[in-house]
Every structure is written in structure tokens, then in C-alpha cells.
Amino acid sequence: MDFTGKSCPVCSKRFEADDDIVVCPKCGAPYHRECYEIKGACIFSELHEKGEVWHDINQESGSNTTEENNDDLVVCRYCGHKNSPDSIVCERCGNFLSAHDGGEQGDYGSDDEGDDDPMRMSSPVFRAKKFYMDDIRDFAIGIKKDEDFDGVTGEELMNYVGTNELYYGPVFSSIKKRNMSRFNFSTLLFQGVWYFYRKQYLTGIILSLLTVLPPVVQYFCYSYFKTDELWLTAQEAVASGGYASYRDYLGWIFANCDLMHGVLMLLPLALSFIGFAVTIVLAFCANRNYYKRAIKKIKSIKTNNSDKSEKEILEIIRNKGGINQGLGIMMLVCELIITVAFTL
């Protein structure tokens, strides 16, 4: 069949005699091969459901329309229908035309996957989401998609975060604009588990060790000294409240213990204090460190994948960032088991 002069429903360009054309086997709609491969399927799914066949919209509107007048028509960026220049919404699918929704004319075929479903596009809820939710989302998280954050865009940064944008968006915006961060209570409560959850494994290992070492060391010290009279005396005094404060306890150790006894008695207490101090410091720095890590990782991904498209790079960023929920839960369970096992 000769489709010369008819329009491709994706790019809206007229077919020429030497164009590589493919035809939908169900409805007969013609496409440039490249356009069809971009969409991945025929866009007229409603025709397939109804058992109808494709017909040329231009012929329906009048085949005697001149090329000059066709250039004045407004092409719907969602279904490809050509509307009169004074149209506000598409006569076919009901979506706002690009001249009224802020989009660029002629970018039909480049929108999000699934936006070519006519039933979905005709929904007022979908149209409200499409044209207003992006602005609401940007306002809520405090970051615009094209906003620069030390060499990466807001969209790239939020793709790396993956979840909990409503928390990290305002935090990262504050770090950039006012150099002010926020205390991270998740780090205080879950310590190393939060770092594993956010794929910061080295810091997570350090904090997890500081969490489980005090009870483990306490257990082995007790096993080593369980028959030592000095150790038993100290433990009985601690259990009975014989020391008014840690200062009294330290004074007793220095007065009655040799170096080995003193170190082993103080080690669990020292490790607990170090772990708590490190946790507090990191809770103040966690968001800022996470922000710097995200920027560094995104820049590295973009540098190492410069030959890929923007969509492919965003997909890589999402995979490298985000969360590791399974590992986070596993580490939490392990910490609880070790702590309980060596404390009881």
C-alpha cells in the first residue's frame, strides 16, 4: 500500500517514497521504522480493542489541505492528532495542547512510558497529575529538576536518593543555599544499620562494630576473670551500687588493680563511650556526608557513562543509589542477636 503523503502518527512528518515504513498488523497504522522502534508498539491500542482499523487523520480533515496550512496545525504531543491553530485541547484525546501546557511543540513520542494510552490520557486525574504534580512535587521537596547542585541536577540527585525525597530534598537544598544541615535521628537510633540501608558500607561496618564490641568484650572479660577475686569484688560492688559514680569506680580500679586488670575492666566502658560519641558526631554530619557522597557518585557515573543517553544515566544513578533494605534489616537483626547473646 502506498502511504506517500500520509503522516506518521509519531513524528507527524509526511511519508516520502523512499521512507522505511512499517505497518501495524492489527490496525494497519503506518510508521517510520525508527519512530515505531522508539515507541516499541503501535500507539492505537484503542483501535485494537475495538477491532477497528487506522485511517489517515489528514484525509478525514480534508485531503486538500495545503502543506503551508498543515504547518499551522497544532500537533498533540500525546496522540499525534493535528488540531486547528485556535484549539486549546486536543480534539481526539482531550489533553491540553503544547501551546497551553508549557510543553514544546512537536515532541510527541518522547513522553513517559504509558502516556500514549488514550483511556488514561482522557482522565482528568491523569491530566492534573501530568501538568500540576511536577510543580507541587518540586515545591514540596524544595528542589527543581534542573537546579544545579555542585555540578549535578536536582533530578539526578533525587534519583540517587530514591526514597524519602520529602526529607532529603529540603535538607540538601538547605546545605546548598545556607550551608546548614539537620540532625539525623535515624543515625542516632539505628547507628550502623542506617549506613548499610543507604549503601554507605564502610561507615556502617565501623559503627556496627562499635555497637556490638562492648557486650562482646564484656563477655570475654567476664569469662577470663570469672574466678578472679578482684574482678568479682568489683562486679559485686557495681551490682549493689557500691560506687556513687563512675569517678568512684575509676578511683577504685586505679587504687586496687594492676595494668592488665585495669585495662580489661575499663575496655567495655571505654568502647561504649567511644561508640556513643562517634554516633552523636555522625548524626550531626550524616546528611552532609550523604549529600557529598551523592554528588561524588553521580559525577563519577556521568563521567564513566558519557556515551549513554540521559535516560540511561538516570537509570544507572537510581541503581547505584537508593537503599539496600534487605541488608539494612539483616544487619539490624544481627546486631540485636549479638548484643542479646553476649549480654545475657
Residue-wise DSSP of 97-122:
PHHHHT--TT-TT-S-TTTT-HHHHT
DSSP one-letter code for 73: S
pLDDT of amino acid 295: 94
Assess if residue 100 is contained within a domain. yes
Same domain, 98 and 202: no
pLDDT bin (cut points 50, 70, 90) of residue 196 is: very high
Q: Are strands 74-75 and 30-32 parallel, antiparallel or unpaired?
A: unpaired
Hey, CA dihedral for 133, 136, 142, 143, is it positive or negative?
A: positive
CA distance 219 to 127: 63
> In which domain, by residue range, is 276 found?
185-343
Same domain, 114 and 222: no
Same domain, 105 and 191: no
Same domain, 214 and 339: yes
DSSP one-letter code for 134: H
Assess if residue 174 is contained within a domain. no
Same domain, 219 and 77: no
Q: Mark residue 227 as left, alpha or beta (left: phi above 0; alpha: psi -120 to 50; beta: remaining).
A: alpha
Residues of the chain above pLDDT 70, percent? 71
Same domain, 198 and 319: yes
3-state secondary structure of 205: helix
**28-56 pLDDT tens trace:** 888 888 888 887 788 887 777 777 777 76
Assess if residue 172 is contained within a domain. no
Assess if residue 69 is contained within a domain. yes
Assess if residue 138 is contained within a domain. no
Final residue of a structural domain among 121, 143, 162? 121
Q: Is the pLDDT of residue 279 over 60?
A: yes
**302-341 pLDDT tens trace:** 999 989 888 899 999 999 999 998 999 999 999 899 888 8
> What is the C-alpha end-to-end distance of the chain, expressed in Å?
83
Assess if residue 38 is contained within a domain. yes
Half-sphere exposure of 8 (CA within 13 A, CB side): 23
pLDDT of amino acid 130: 47
Same domain, 200 and 313: yes
Same domain, 117 and 192: no
Per-chain mean pLDDT for the chain: 77
Final residue of a structural domain among 73, 100, 121? 121
pLDDT of amino acid 16: 84
Same domain, 241 and 322: yes
Assess if residue 180 is contained within a domain. no
* 223: its cell numbers: 569469662
Q: Is the pLDDT of residue 283 over 50?
A: yes
Same domain, 232 and 329: yes
**Count of domains observed in the chain:** 2
Final residue of a structural domain among 80, 96, 121? 121
Same domain, 326 and 192: yes
pTM over 0.75: no
CA distance 201 to 284: 18
Same domain, 107 and 202: no
Assess if residue 221 is contained within a domain. yes
Q: How far is CA 25 from CA 33, 50, 124, in A?
A: 14, 15, 32
Q: Which of 185, 166, 152, 140 is nearest to 291 (CA)?
A: 152
